[in-house]
Amino acid sequence: MSRQVANALEKKFDKHERQTSVSWKDPRGVLVITDRSIDLHTPAQHDYSYAMMVSDLVKMNGKREVALPKKKEEAKGDSNVRMHKLDESDKFWKRFKNRHWAETMLKLGEEVDKFSKENDDFIKLNQGQDMDVG
pLDDT per residue as tens digits for the range 68-108: 777 766 666 667 788 888 888 888 889 999 999 889 999 98
Say if residue 71 is in the same domain as residue 29.
Answer: no
Range of the domain at 94: 50-126
Is 74 domain-assigned? Answer: yes
Whether residues 112 and 97 share a domain: the answer is yes
> Is 133 contained in some domain?
no
Please check whether residue 8 lies inside any domain of the structure. yes
Q: Is the pTM of this model over 0.75?
A: no
Q: Which residues, in sequence order, are CB contacts of 44 under 8 Å at separation 6+?
A: 32
Overall number of domains in the chain: 2
Give the integer Cα–Cα distance in Å for 102 and 32.
26
Cβ proximity of 51 and 104 under 8 Å? no
Q: Are residues 29 and 62 in the same domain?
A: no
Q: Are residues 12 and 34 in the same domain?
A: yes
Mean pLDDT of 25-30: 69
Is the domain of 34 the same as that of 56?
A: no
Kindly state whether residue 91 falls inside one of the protein's structural domains: yes
**Same domain? 68 vs 122:** yes
**What's the chain's average pLDDT?**
77
- Check if the beta carbon of residue 13 is closer than 8 Å to that of residue 5: no
CA 118-123-124 angle, to 5 degrees, is 130
Asked if residue 134 belongs to a domain, the reply is no
83 and 62 both lie in a single domain: yes
A 10 A CB-CB count for 104 gives 21
